[in-house]
């Protein structure tokens, strides 16, 4: 898998992932990243997938208590 900041180039490549899902850690909150993956097996290496763009979000703040009126 390769990923990078949306406005830049792909700079980090993760290798050796053998599962069908992966959680990327160490991303900066509020920054948009782009991802692409390829598959490798005994027959060779695939082309990269289409690019996926994701915003590194954060856990939202606790909502305020509701107000009531009469």
Give me the mean pLDDT over the 54-67 stretch: 84
39 closest CA partner among 17, 10, 64: 17
Give tens-digit pLDDT for 2-53.
777 767 777 767 788 888 888 888 888 888 888 888 888 889 989 988 988 8
Architecture field, domain 2-18+25-55:
Sandwich (2.60)
- The pLDDT assigned to 44 comes to 93
- The pLDDT assigned to 43 comes to 94
- The pLDDT assigned to 12 comes to 67
Burial class (CB in 10 A: 0-12, 13-18, 19+), 3: buried
Q: In the chain, what are the domain boundaries?
A: 2-18+25-55
Look at residue 59 and tell me whether its pLDDT is greater than 90: no
């Amino acid at each position: 898998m390769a990923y990078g900041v949306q406005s830049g180039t792909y700079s980090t490549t993760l290798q050796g992932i053998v599962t069908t899902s992966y959680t990327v850690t160490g991303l900066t909150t509020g920054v948009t990243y782009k991802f692409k993956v390829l598959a490798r097996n005994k027959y060779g290496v695939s082309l990269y997938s289409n690019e996926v763009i994701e915003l590194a979000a954060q856990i939202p703040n606790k909502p305020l208590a509701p107000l009531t009126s009469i």
